[in-house]
Structure 1
Amino acid sequence: MDIERQNKHKKSPRKPNENKSKTTTEEIRPNVKTKKPPLPIVVMQQQKPSLSRKNAGTNWSSVLAAINAAEGPITLPEAIEATRKTVSTSGLPSTQNQPKNNRKKQRYEIVAMDCEMVGVGPSGNDDMLARVSIVKKSGEVLMDKFVKPREPVTDYRTSVSGIRPRDIEHGEEFDKVQAEVIVLLQGKILVGHGIYNDLAVLHIKHPASNIRDTARYKPLARLVSNGRTPSLKRLSEAILGKEIQTGEHNSVEDARAAMSIYNRLSIDWEKYIEKKKRSHK
């Protein structure tokens, strides 16, 4: 009995690392990184704003608002397009959605002008404006107006000018026509034949560097009339192969003829002007 009691009270030998091996799984779990469940797939993924020319100037805060306001999934291009439609229908002008005819008029860099005049004064030798025509580079008419006389006409010069009393009797006031011409010519290259006479009868000036006068272009005069000032009629026949001024003159026809001559010679003409500029430096 004593021996059994002694054996009972004896401590069993402790195994090495016994305490460490008895660590429970509950004590380990807090240190183990568990995988999180995958996030749900989002239909509208975030995209970086496009820097392309198409999307340049896009109001991205408006695009974000369009995305948030959408009832269902929406792509970024769809949101941009929805924003543009909103802007164009909010009362602000937009050329993008307007017909071509309603767009703001373009500013043409080159125009041609011709005027018809009547005679005033005792002998009818003084010039007074009766009609002014301005055309685009393509020949399309920008302006063609008869002008009310400011003093009695002593010679209508109908055989040349084509002007009759009924044409100018109810014409527009000179001041109004002059103002419109100034606006149309501003910043433009002005083509014409004897154009300084037209400017004089309009009582306006135009920068000499922006004038292309078919009557004063020396290479053209040497080619057509041995250096003398050629008529527009002769120039049209020689350069364009077209006969004009067979009867009464027409300022639209003459402006178109001058423009067509310039268009035919413009490359050499501009080179000639640049060469003259360099020689004067």
Structure 2
Amino acid sequence: MFSSNYLGPLSRASCSRTFSAQGCDLCLKLYDSPSSLVKHIEICPLSAPASLGTKILPFAGSVDEKHTTKDAKAIAFNCVMVGGGTDGSLDLCARVCLVDEDEDIIFHTYEITGLTEEHLRNSKSHKEVQDKILEILYNGESARRLMSDSGKARLLVGHDLKHGLDCLRINYPGHLLRDTAKYRPLLKTNLVSHSLKYLTKTYLGYNIQTGEHDPYVDCVSVMRLYKRMRAQDHQVNGIGTPNSDSGFESQKAEELENMTPDELYQLSKSNYKCWCLDSKKAAGPVDF
């Protein structure tokens, strides 16, 4: 059983009542009893990561070799935009941050403008930042093998990734992107994205972006969202396989019209790739 926030309208009112009594609104997991849920709720909300502020890190603008040698499967990305041009309408990326799944910073820089003269003094050029990010993401993989699911290239996690990547003029394969602004279970019912601030409060239990924009806090939050969605434990048969037959194509229009809502629900299939498959792929092949 799942929350209506996760897989859309529930098929039965009894399932909704059960989740209301035994389900966690943050992590969306169902517990054996209301008492088990009460114990879980005490530890489920996460604490907000500490802000970096505007301090310059020891390895700002460079790769932290200690972390990039780890077997990181996914990297979270965030950048701070500033207005450029004579009227401020040009988006420029002023600050870039990458973190791994352990929330360790592996790349952090003040890029293009910096924030003060001190930050600007050691800032990296656009090309240097672009090359470093691609080096981390490619993970030693050749450009020709990026389209393969079995390669070493890392998943890139973020919120509204296209905006940041376009600003840095970086192209990365769509099947390696995990965007919380595009993931179907996190969208509004009209398929419009929520803000990262809303998603963090709703599914992680803390507030972000209450003052200045800190890319590290946003990076950690979007990585936590990805891992929380990836950890969803549910059946995989016919779920989350993109471009799969929805089940309706094999039915005649008259047959569909005579079906009950529950019958239509059982026949339907998701038309997005569920992030739980990322962890299942790492563990071994999944039978559909």
Q: TM-score, normalised by structure 1?
A: 0.53
| Structure 1 equivalent of residue 90 of structure 2 | 126
Give the residue type in structure 2 aligned to 1:214.
Answer: T
Give the residue type in structure 1 aligned to 2:119.
Answer: D
Is contact 1:146–1:172 with CA below 8 Å preserved after alignment?
yes
Deviation at 1:226, TM superposition (A): 6.1
Alpha-carbon distance between aligned partners in 2 of 1:237 and 1:211, rounded to the nearest angstrom: 23
Alpha-carbon distance between aligned partners in 2 of 1:267 and 1:140, rounded to the nearest angstrom: 20
Deviation at 1:169, TM superposition (A): 4.7
Give the residue type in structure 1 aligned to 2:130.
Answer: Q
Gap regions ≥5 residues in structure 2: 1-64, 139-152, 247-270, 272-288
Give the residue type in structure 1 aligned to 2:196.
Answer: L
Deviation at 1:256, TM superposition (A): 0.6
Q: Any idea what the Cα deviations from partners look like across 1:91-110, whole Å, max 9, x if unmatched?
A: xxxxxxxxxx9798124110
2:192 to 216, 222, 228: 228
Kindly indicate whether residue 173 of structure 2 is the aligned counterpart of residue 173 of structure 1.
no
1:110 to 61, 67, 74: 74
Residue 171 of structure 1 aligns to a residue whose secondary structure is: coil
1:259 to 212, 219, 223: 223
Gap regions ≥5 residues in structure 1: 1-100, 150-155, 157-162
Deviation at 1:274, TM superposition (A): 4.0
- In the superposition, relative to structure 1, how do residues 125 and 189 fare at CA in structure 2: closer, same or farther (>3 Å)? same
Residue 183 of structure 1 aligns to a residue whose secondary structure is: helix
Q: TM-score, normalised by structure 2?
A: 0.52
Is contact 1:148–1:169 with CA below 8 Å preserved after alignment?
no
| Structure 2 equivalent of residue 278 of structure 1 | 244
Deviation at 1:227, TM superposition (A): 3.8
Kindly indicate whether residue 167 of structure 2 is the aligned counterpart of residue 215 of structure 1.
no
Alpha-carbon distance between aligned partners in 2 of 1:232 and 1:192, rounded to the nearest angstrom: 9
| Structure 2 equivalent of residue 135 of structure 1 | 99
Give the number of aligned pairs: 167
Deviation at 1:273, TM superposition (A): 8.0
Let me know the Cα RMSD of the aligned residues: 3.0
Is contact 2:68–2:106 with CA below 8 Å preserved after alignment?
no
Q: Any idea what the Cα deviations from partners look like across 1:95-151, whole Å, max 9, x if unmatched?
A: xxxxxx9798124110100011221112111111211100001211111111134xx
Kindly indicate whether residue 168 of structure 2 is the aligned counterpart of residue 202 of structure 1.
yes
1:4-19 pair list within 5 angstroms: none
Give the residue type in structure 2 aligned to 1:113.
Answer: F
Residue 276 of structure 1 aligns to a residue whose secondary structure is: coil
Which structure's residues are more often helix, by fraction? 1
1:34-183 pair list within 5 angstroms: 105-149=69-113, 163-164=115-116, 166-183=118-135
Is contact 1:147–1:171 with CA below 8 Å preserved after alignment?
yes
- In the superposition, relative to structure 1, how do residues 206 and 212 fare at CA in structure 2: closer, same or farther (>3 Å)? same
Give the residue type in structure 2 aligned to 1:254.
Answer: D
| Structure 2 equivalent of residue 14 of structure 1 | none
